[in-house]
Structure 1
Amino acid sequence: MVLCAALAAVLAWLLYRNLGLYPAIFADEWYYSKMARLMPLGEAIVPSYLYLWLFRGSLACGDGFLDCVRIANGLLFAGAGAFFYFVARVYMRPLLAIAVVVLSLLAPTNIYTAYFMPEATYYFGFAALSWVALTPRPWSLPRRALLLGVVLGMMSLVKVHALFLIPATSLFLAASAWLGAHEQHDQRVRTALLAAAIAPLVALGIKFGLGFLIAGEPALSLFGSFYANAAAGTRPRSLLELLAPAFINGRGHLMALTVLMSLPLALLLHAVVSRTARQQAGSALNRLQLFAFLMLGSAAGMTIAYTASIAPLGPLEVVRLHLRYYTFVFPLLLILVASAMERPAAGARPPLGWLVALGLVTVLLFALVRLPNFSLNPVDGPEISGINLRLWTGWLVVGLDVLALGLWAFGSRLGAPLFLFGAMPVMLALGTLETNAYLAQLVPGWGPDHGGKYAHAHVPKQEHNQITVASTGAQEIMRAQFHIDAPDTAMLDLPPNSPIAEYQLPVRKKWLLVIGNHPLPPGLTPVKKTADYALVQLPLDDSRTLGTAELSKPYGTGLLADAQGLSHAEQWGRWSDAKQVVLHFNAPLPKNVQVILTARAFDVNATLPFTMRIGAESTRFQLSPSLQELGLRFVTDGKQRSLSIEVPRPISPADLGNPADARKLGIGIADITITDTSRRVQTQARTQVLSVP
């Protein structure tokens, strides 16, 4: 009853804090909402098919879908506490186990229950995985391996990161079999190999089998299109090139982990270096230590390797600390500390304890100086972002860590309770203040929230996909798209306070939602205009479409005959790889022609003008880093079969830190459409004649 009351209280607090908030994390929340609710599951760019299928149920909530998602997140997060409680009960009394669970659930990582993201579901999955691995139920090792494989397979359909836990799970099972002293040596080897093989085979079978049932053939991809393309785009020439960014990022994670979990790390490291400590712990505690060590090591190692691999995307990537990729292990670390409070007092000083404690104290002192130089924020790591090591509150946390380590190394039983009920509450209080302040800014809503909601309510539902959102920054645009709640809305990313040029007006969309201060071209009158946004119904386009070419496909058929200055085809289109791009068409262009491009600019080219030429005619235009539509009009002699685009400053990703890509990029083109605007020109001419007095 006490446990149920505690979990219910945590759930009530989460719902009180989360319900009614506006969305926060973009692009994540928009992408997950769109993939789960508005698209066929097979078109999802990440292989989170089970999560997307489950949260597709939020469609039943209508416009209140986001609060329904938060209720489900809260139930799953609080439900994970039950599994962690059953794990903790193996090592401690009921009330202490409940205290550990409550501390775990009140940790700042619960901020993810406010987002349309899979973190809370994944947290629940890991709690179930931990229970299957550590429950004292008398299961045979193959049966335990089978169940672990099932849970891992389902977790991989929530977040693909679970695949990186599979080797650690196999090692845990193999070690558990090897330590089975009741069996003969040969039998232990066979059991270890069998258990180590069962878990990954079952996990992959669940991932591909269940994924195929949910999403079809796309689920047969291991990582999904998003992660596969990201890996291909940032692949280093050799693993040696990962060492420098991995060392920098790994150093940051070590400092953050030591600040947050100093005593649990000491207990884990001590179990590694001291055979005596392992013998004194007993088999049950050894299994907990081994499982926690392997899970934390594999998850943190994957995080560091992934961050190092995307370091070429920008100079700040390497100093971002994505703690959310492994904070789900923290409840096990707290259980480990609490278990030390239940052990007999006869342990005296832990062998080699001073050596372990001294090393971690050194890391803590180093963190006081260097950790503030890393990127710490409530999205990547809510636990650490609230601990400011430049203020006295951060010094208090480090001081409590050092004192707890010293007491433990000296053999005092006060070290564990000091960390659990002294340092942890301080860290949780600081983290909660930080996360609450972050979420509080989502209550009143911003311009994109108000504009997106107005467009959703006043544009006919069948025309929601006909809206283009114009604003500064892709995150602001996606925030409005989230509220419009239609999968095919378009974006127009503009410089701050810049006017909208006529060529930037959407040609194939009926509505334009402008967020912020971006003056419209003459002749356009908004349906609704406020200080935050303007909604414009665009005039009908009466031009005649002659053809469209998708640059992701080969040349030679349809509109395009050939091209120069473009690189190889990618899933979305092609990048230019020269100073000039020339497109050759299969038929002459009309005399009054409109060229419609869906394109984007690379790096500095997003701030510079491109030039398009058809015959003697030329015009200049600008693009953003995001794909956007533009329409350029020309008057020709009716004989031109080519157009050219001058790239202002081709630049190589290799020059920006990605040695895997030496191409000189400038403009990326997804598709091109040619229309004949003669009818529009004639209409305008008649209008001008009629208007002459």
Structure 2
Amino acid sequence: MDRYPTTTSAAANRSRLLAGAGLLALCCGVFVWLLLRNHGLGPAIFSDEWYYSKMSRLQPLAEAMVPSYLYLWLFRASSVCGAGFLDCARIGNELFFVAAAPFIYAVTRRVASSLLALLVAALALLTPLNVYTSFFMPEASYYFGFAVLSWVILAWQVSESRWNAPLQGLAAGAVLGLMSLVKVHALFLLPAVCLYLGCAGRLAGRVNWRSRGALAALLAAAATLALKFGLGYVFAGEEALSVFGSFYTGTANSHARRPLAELLRAAWTSGAGHLMALAVLLALPLALLIHATLSRSARAQGSTELRQLQLYSLLTLGAAGGMAVMFTASIADVAPTEVLRLHMRYYSFVFPLLLALSAAAIHRPCPATPALAWPVALLLAIVLACAVWKLPAYSINAVDGPEIYGVGIASLPGRVVVGLELLALLLWARGSRLAAPLFLFVAMPVMTVQGVLSSGAYLRNIDPNLPAYVAGRFAYGYVPAAERNQLTVVGADVLETMHAQFYVDAPDTGTIALPPGAPLAPYHMPLRNKWLLVIGHHPLPPGVRAEVATDVYALVKMDTQRRVIGVTRFGQPLGPNSLVTAAEGLSHLEPWGRWSEAKRVVLHFSRPLPAHANVVIKAQAFGPNTGLPFTMKIGSEEQSFRVGDLPQDVTLRFATDGQQRSLTIEIPKPTVPHDVSPSIDTRPLGIGLTDIEISTPDT
């Protein structure tokens, strides 16, 4: 095997020791920098951070919306930090992220010198993707997992004397299976990994490479699925047997059956944006990869390790990038600008491999085939020119694509980066050995510095003292721990309520979204929760007094004493033994409840309603009905209420003759989703009902 380099000289030993010391210093320095940069920040990405915090720390794993069971189980340990759980989660992120560096170094060391491998590792740690170490999300853990997977596949040697493909396949499958329990997106890498394992032996000139490669691929697939479902079952039971979990399955189902032409148009738009962004960031490595793929002579001149790195990079980038494009296309109907979002974090973990290709081109240059190099360079130059013109129209932000956001394509530094990329392409096409050094020693450091500055500016704008954060932290310390789940948060919008929920740190808090300054109506006062946390200025109903009131928030303790007659959950079948025995105007069962599909909903009860009835419904409005008045009637008495587009409790009190056995809800504006969005749903929706409780005052 043509492995670079194998020498046991004293000079080589000193070089390895120096490289090891440099790698250790790099990891320690970056870890301390990330620790200082991230400490004390507030959460930033909602609803993601709130849901991951809740799923990992506050709920049984079986209730998790996404099957990230290993990540959730590991980061459950952040609960030992009490109110400082977010900073503890960040330390975990930072450790995982920095731990990827030795594996990236080892992969690069197979094709380049120790100094170049150290540079690649440094660039991989300083990448703007490290902004994710500050969020309660699994990206940093997944980044580490892919680095380990790449090391197992490209650098790990079971034996120096023989090729043990089956064992390598098992190891790769085990790592990929664990990665799928961090982010289920890892399953989309499985075809790429299996194809690579099936072909890797041929690149190395191994005997019986077909049979042994096929066995390695089969074992990798079996190990991946066994760990994904087996270990998942240990964590979460039968819920783990779902491939993608309830959230992604529900998302896929809700966007299914879109016209093929519409899907292809969205995929073209998204794919073009990703290609332009990749060209801006990695034009020369892309040229090297395309050239090596198309040129037989280039492959013949490269070492076995380089050919393997090229094939693995091509397959993994193609699989992960293709998944990002198709995911974006599949949800393009969510909003007009959704298709313009560049979700580069779904594949940017592959970028260190492309940097390793550039390092290999410096260490052992392979002359490009002129007849092929010029067309490749011209194609990428055209893409770069399109990027200057078209890319600013895409939705680029520090969360979806921190690398391309850091470049700032519309700014002067961004144009400098494009110029450097074009110059590197020109030099490469001319056969100059300066192309790769220009990219790795000049263009990449420029982009890295820009990325560090842009990420720092983004994080500095995350205010840990927003009113909702202050209110949430106060409620966490004031409300007894056993009663935090019995708290309803009132805010100006769903993000503000989530901000407070994050720090209240209880999984079952309720929410009410009201326009800024809008007063609370009596029906907003929770009967099933003991506490009401009001953020901002929302006048309370007459007779309601806050226990604690400041300019930022008010905390109200409610009188929730009552005698419950019965409760019906609309996500379950109705029947003679339930409080609500039958319903008119409701659609089919859904996991959360049922939508109305008529101008009115009539609920029939198994017994007469009490003379003094408290009616509590958890409800949400659909589309144009949001904020419009609904009317509830029992006998001759009627009352109106309004709800938002997320479930919230509504409490209404009725005086009846003690004989009424039904309740009617009038819908203001039944609306067919198909008429207001690309949805295929043709039901006239109005109100969504999760549950209903009937009670009487406890006298």
TM-score (norm 1): 0.94
Give 3-state SS (helix, strand or coil) of 2:333's partner: helix
- 1:133-532 equivalences under 5 Å are 133-135=153-155, 137=157, 138=159, 139-183=163-207, 187-237=208-258, 239-344=260-365, 347=367, 350-532=370-552
Whether 2:109 is the aligned partner of 1:61: answer no
Q: Counterpart of 1:141 in structure 2: which amino acid?
A: A
Deviation at 1:136, TM superposition (A): 5.7
Q: Counterpart of 1:160 in structure 2: which amino acid?
A: V
**For the residues of structure 1 that align with 2:286 and 2:109, how far apart are their CA atoms?**
21
Q: Counterpart of 1:356 in structure 2: which amino acid?
A: V
Q: Counterpart of 2:55 in structure 1: which amino acid?
A: M
The correspondence for 1:552, drawn from 557, 571, 577, is 571
Give 3-state SS (helix, strand or coil) of 1:488's partner: coil
1:691 alignment partner in structure 2:
none
Q: Which has the larger displacement, 435-444 or 148-157? A: 435-444
**For the residues of structure 2 that align with 1:587 and 1:369, how far apart are their CA atoms?**
69
1:685 alignment partner in structure 2:
none
Deviation at 1:588, TM superposition (A): 2.0
Q: Counterpart of 1:544 in structure 2: which amino acid?
A: R
Deviation at 1:302, TM superposition (A): 0.9
**For the residues of structure 1 that align with 2:437 and 2:587, how far apart are their CA atoms?**
62
CA contact (8 A) 1:348 1:412 kept: no
**For the residues of structure 1 that align with 2:247 and 2:301, how far apart are their CA atoms?**
47
**For the residues of structure 2 that align with 1:106 and 1:636, how far apart are their CA atoms?**
68
CA contact (8 A) 1:349 1:410 kept: no
Whether 2:615 is the aligned partner of 1:589: answer no
- 1:116-127 equivalences under 5 Å are 116-127=136-147
Whether 2:671 is the aligned partner of 1:647: answer no
Deviation at 1:456, TM superposition (A): 0.7
**For the residues of structure 1 that align with 2:561 and 2:172, how far apart are their CA atoms?**
61
Q: Counterpart of 1:519 in structure 2: which amino acid?
A: P
1:566 alignment partner in structure 2:
586
The correspondence for 1:634, drawn from 641, 645, 654, is 654
Report runs of 4+ in structure 1 exceeding 6 Å deviation: none
**For the residues of structure 2 that align with 1:247 and 1:581, how far apart are their CA atoms?**
44
Deviation at 1:57, TM superposition (A): 1.3
CA contact (8 A) 1:274 1:351 kept: no
**For the residues of structure 2 that align with 1:549 and 1:350, how far apart are their CA atoms?**
74
Q: Counterpart of 2:396 in structure 1: which amino acid?
A: L
Q: 1:196 to 1:660 in 2, by over 3 A?
A: farther
2:25 alignment partner in structure 1:
5
Q: Counterpart of 2:547 in structure 1: which amino acid?
A: V
**For the residues of structure 1 that align with 2:531 and 2:79, how far apart are their CA atoms?**
25
Whether 2:562 is the aligned partner of 1:543: answer yes
1:112 alignment partner in structure 2:
132
Q: Which has the larger displacement, 495-504 or 656-665? A: 656-665
**For the residues of structure 2 that align with 1:271 and 1:645, how far apart are their CA atoms?**
67
**For the residues of structure 2 that align with 1:199 and 1:389, how far apart are their CA atoms?**
40
Deviation string 1:380-399 (CA, Å, 9 cap, x unpaired) is: 11111233332212211111
**For the residues of structure 2 that align with 1:656 and 1:292, how far apart are their CA atoms?**
43
Deviation at 1:529, TM superposition (A): 2.1
RMSD: 1.7
Identity percentage of aligned residues: 53
Q: 1:69 to 1:90 in 2, by over 3 A?
A: same
Give 3-state SS (helix, strand or coil) of 2:392's partner: helix
Give 3-state SS (helix, strand or coil) of 1:203's partner: helix
Deviation string 1:224-273 (CA, Å, 9 cap, x unpaired) is: 11111121122124544421221221121111111111111111111222
**For the residues of structure 1 that align with 2:382 and 2:666, how far apart are their CA atoms?**
56
Q: 1:348 to 1:471 in 2, by over 3 A?
A: closer
Give 3-state SS (helix, strand or coil) of 1:64's partner: helix
Q: 1:518 to 1:643 in 2, by over 3 A?
A: same
1:36 alignment partner in structure 2:
56
Q: Counterpart of 1:151 in structure 2: which amino acid?
A: V
**For the residues of structure 1 that align with 2:693 and 2:611, how far apart are their CA atoms?**
15
Give 3-state SS (helix, strand or coil) of 2:42's partner: coil
Deviation string 1:584-625 (CA, Å, 9 cap, x unpaired) is: 222222232222111111222213222222222222211111
1:575 alignment partner in structure 2:
595
CA contact (8 A) 2:105 2:121 kept: yes
Deviation at 1:283, TM superposition (A): 2.1
Gaps spanning 5+ residues in structure 1: where?
A: 681-693
Q: Counterpart of 1:617 in structure 2: which amino acid?
A: E
Deviation at 1:14, TM superposition (A): 0.4
Give 3-state SS (helix, strand or coil) of 1:242's partner: helix
Give 3-state SS (helix, strand or coil) of 1:525's partner: coil
Give 3-state SS (helix, strand or coil) of 1:109's partner: helix
CA contact (8 A) 1:20 1:443 kept: no
**For the residues of structure 1 that align with 2:130 and 2:286, how far apart are their CA atoms?**
22
Deviation at 1:527, TM superposition (A): 2.3
Give 3-state SS (helix, strand or coil) of 1:584's partner: strand
Give 3-state SS (helix, strand or coil) of 1:133's partner: helix
CA contact (8 A) 1:312 1:658 kept: yes
**For the residues of structure 2 that align with 1:416 and 1:663, how far apart are their CA atoms?**
59
Deviation at 1:444, TM superposition (A): 4.4
TM-score (norm 2): 0.93
**For the residues of structure 2 that align with 1:201 and 1:126, how far apart are their CA atoms?**
19
Deviation at 1:322, TM superposition (A): 1.0
**For the residues of structure 2 that align with 1:157 and 1:352, how far apart are their CA atoms?**
42
CA contact (8 A) 1:236 1:659 kept: no
Q: 1:260 to 1:571 in 2, by over 3 A?
A: same
Give 3-state SS (helix, strand or coil) of 1:352's partner: helix
**For the residues of structure 2 that align with 1:485 and 1:408, how far apart are their CA atoms?**
55
**For the residues of structure 2 that align with 1:142 and 1:660, how far apart are their CA atoms?**
47
CA contact (8 A) 1:234 1:658 kept: no
1:49 alignment partner in structure 2:
69
**For the residues of structure 1 that align with 2:299 and 2:371, how far apart are their CA atoms?**
11
Deviation at 1:199, TM superposition (A): 0.9
Deviation string 1:389-414 (CA, Å, 9 cap, x unpaired) is: 32212211111111111111111111
Deviation string 1:314-367 (CA, Å, 9 cap, x unpaired) is: 2222111111111111111111111100114x6265541111111111111111
Gaps spanning 5+ residues in structure 2: where?
A: 1-20
Aligned length: 674
